[in-house]
């Protein structure tokens, strides 16, 4: 295993740097330590009592073995690997691919160590139709991985039914067995039933692990392994971070510090949490984090049943790209944000900037510099500018970008989320508010038995011309 680590840097949230109004003072940090330490103990207790099964995923030996065996088989003659899933069954898959495989992976046969990867997490007919047009004559070299614990998620089910019909039409009745892998509940549910009846190869969505905590299970691991990502290193990274995040000494535990600082700022009116990766590779990990953070902490009721309506709003801003889009607001707009930078200390690949033309000596400062130096300079420069305006900034520093550090990052933010849930005193593992929208979709699709709800929705479903301009 690599020796690369990730680190949390928190000096730039202190009052020494950004002053007493927006910074955290020494005594406030002591207070945070006192408040948070019992929560670390409590989370360790919950974990030992088997109440947070996601924590044990990096130690599971069956899953990676199953996944690697299946991946090895798939890689023999698969040219395209397609994930059909949504939310927790897609964001982790996308994030691992962007983080650990080359930018030109799908386009460049030479840079690709595995089949092309596509992840569809929508039901847009323009998008999916364009893909179907392309893949239509390549079905026998394409494997579809349908991921859904229940199999009743409307988007995934719809995509699956399109693909099933296409495969049966083009490859005959045995096509499904060869081209489809179902990742589903081990025993019951719609997708399990369908998979068993059709004789599909299957993997398991573990029990008790919510979608947003499932990336280190077969949900996220299969597409990664198929595309040549070292899932053993990924899991080893998660285990290494587990030790650090279980540490009951507040100031040595990066998840505890991260959760406490986030909670501190939320309770003081900074309701927006901006994640700003200075690495294109890390950009989709920010979307994975957006789900983890929003769905876990956005809650109406606390654990005592009191109405609280809490939850920081996570925002992704990619450096340097979004400097040229958002930094004006971030510096001069309301001081209502906590910034978390992601920084890579050493890039495994670099590009040297060429010489400036003689007519433009003002660009000489760039000549012969590694591009990574410019990227990291821009990170520091943006942070400096934000600090100048007293905006609090955290940094997650990656020694380097590899499967181990990505595994560490995932685990760090999962445990941070659990601890933040305890600080907010809410249930971080449910998502009660997503049901009404699902039911309303059924009603709008005329699913039998939903007529009463359909009647209620009618005023929203029909636009009132008096308000249409």
Residues between 393 and 432 that touch its own copies (CB under 8 A): 395, 397, 401, 431-432
Phi, psi of 307, deg, nearest 5? -75, 120
**351 binding its own copies? (CB under 8 A):** yes
CB of residue 142 vs its own copies: minimum separation in angstroms?
A: 13
Annotated active-site residue 21? The verdict is no
**272 binding its own copies? (CB under 8 A):** yes
**Distances in Å between the alpha carbon of 236 and those of 86, 157, 305, 340?**
26, 34, 39, 24
**444 binding its own copies? (CB under 8 A):** yes
Q: Give the residues across from 400 on adjacent strands.
A: 346
Nearer to its own copies, 43 or 176 (CB): 176
**51 binding its own copies? (CB under 8 A):** no
CB of residue 348 vs its own copies: minimum separation in angstroms?
A: 8
Q: How far apart are CA 367 and CA 356, in angstroms?
A: 6
CB of residue 217 vs its own copies: minimum separation in angstroms?
A: 17
- Residue from 1, 104, 186, 303 binding its own copies (CB under 8 A): 104
CB 118 within 8 A of CB 181: no
**Distances in Å between the alpha carbon of 319 and those of 240, 389, 461?**
28, 19, 39
**37 binding its own copies? (CB under 8 A):** no
Nearer to its own copies, 60 or 397 (CB): 397
State which H helix or E strand residue 286 sits in.
helix 283-297
**33 binding its own copies? (CB under 8 A):** no
Nearer to its own copies, 49 or 187 (CB): 187
- Residue from 37, 291, 400, 427 binding its own copies (CB under 8 A): 291
Q: How far apart are CA 304 and CA 298, in angstroms?
A: 16
- According to CB under 8 A, which residues from 217 to 246 bind its own copies? none
Total residues binding its own copies (CB under 8 A): 164
**69 binding its own copies? (CB under 8 A):** no
Annotated active-site residue 425? The verdict is no
How many CB atoms lie under 10 A from the CB of residue 228? 15
- Residue from 3, 173, 448, 452 binding its own copies (CB under 8 A): 448
Q: How far apart are CA 153 and CA 86, in angstroms?
A: 8
Task: Give buried/exposed letters for 122-138 (b at 16+ CB in 10 A, else e).
Answer: eeeeeebeeeeeebeee
State which H helix or E strand residue 74 sits in.
helix 62-77
- According to CB under 8 A, which residues from 300 to 329 bind its own copies? 300, 309-311, 313, 315, 318-329
Please list the active-site residues.
295, 324, 438
């Amino acid at each position: 295993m690599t020796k690369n680590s990730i680190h949390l840097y928190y000096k730039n949230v202190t009052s020494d740097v950004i002053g007493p109004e927006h910074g955290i003072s020494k005594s406030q940090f002591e207070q945070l330590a006192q408040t948070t330490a019992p929560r670390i103990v409590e989370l360790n207790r919950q974990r030992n009592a088997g109440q947070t099964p996601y924590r044990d995923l990096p130690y599971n030996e069956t899953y990676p073995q199953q996944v690697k065996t299946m991946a090895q088989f798939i890689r023999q003659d698969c040219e395209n690997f397609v994930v059909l899933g949504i939310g927790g069954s897609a964001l982790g898959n996308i994030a691992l691919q962007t983080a650990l495989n080359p930018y030109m992976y799908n386009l460049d046969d030479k840079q690709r160590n595995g089949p092309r990867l596509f992840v569809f997490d929508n039901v847009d007919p323009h998008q999916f139709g364009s893909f179907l047009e392309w893949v239509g004559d390549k079905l026998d070299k394409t494997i579809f991985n349908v991921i859904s614990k229940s199999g009743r998620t409307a988007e995934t089910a719809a995509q699956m039914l399109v693909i099933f019909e296409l495969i049966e039409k083009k490859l005959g009745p045995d096509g499904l067995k060869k081209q489809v892998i179902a990742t589903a509940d081990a025993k019951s549910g719609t997708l399990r039933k369908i998979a068993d009846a059709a004789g599909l190869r299957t993997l398991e969505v573990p029990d008790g692990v919510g979608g947003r905590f499932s990336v280190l299970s077969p949900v996220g691991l299969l597409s990664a392994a198929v595309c040549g990502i070292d899932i053993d290193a990924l899991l080893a990274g998660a285990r290494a971070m587990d030790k650090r995040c279980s540490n009951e000494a507040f100031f040595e535990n990066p998840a505890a510090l991260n959760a406490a600082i986030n909670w501190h700022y939320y309770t003081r009116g900074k309701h927006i949490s901006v994640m700003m990766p200075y690495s294109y590779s890390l950009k989709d990990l920010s979307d994975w984090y957006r789900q983890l953070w929003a769905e876990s902490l956005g809650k109406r009721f606390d654990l005592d049943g009191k109405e609280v309506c809490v939850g920081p709003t996570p925002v992704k801003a990619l450096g340097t790209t979004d400097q040229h889009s958002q930094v004006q607001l971030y510096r001069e707009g309301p001081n209502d944000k906590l910034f978390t930078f992601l920084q890579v200390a050493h890039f495994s690949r670099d590009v040297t900037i060429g010489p400036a033309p003689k007519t433009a000596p003002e660009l000489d400062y760039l000549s012969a510099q590694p591009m990574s130096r410019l990227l990291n300079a821009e990170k520091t420069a943006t942070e400096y500018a934000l600090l100048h305006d007293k905006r609090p900034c955290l940094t997650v520093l990656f020694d380097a970008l590899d499967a181990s550090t990505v595994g560490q990052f995932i685990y760090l933010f999962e445990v941070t989320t659990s601890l933040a849930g305890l600080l907010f005193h809410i249930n971080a593992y449910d998502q009660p508010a997503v049901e009404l929208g699902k039911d309303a979709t059924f009603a709008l699709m005329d699913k039998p038995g939903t007529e009463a709800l359909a009647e209620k929705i009618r005023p929203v479903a029909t636009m009132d011309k008096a308000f249409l301009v």
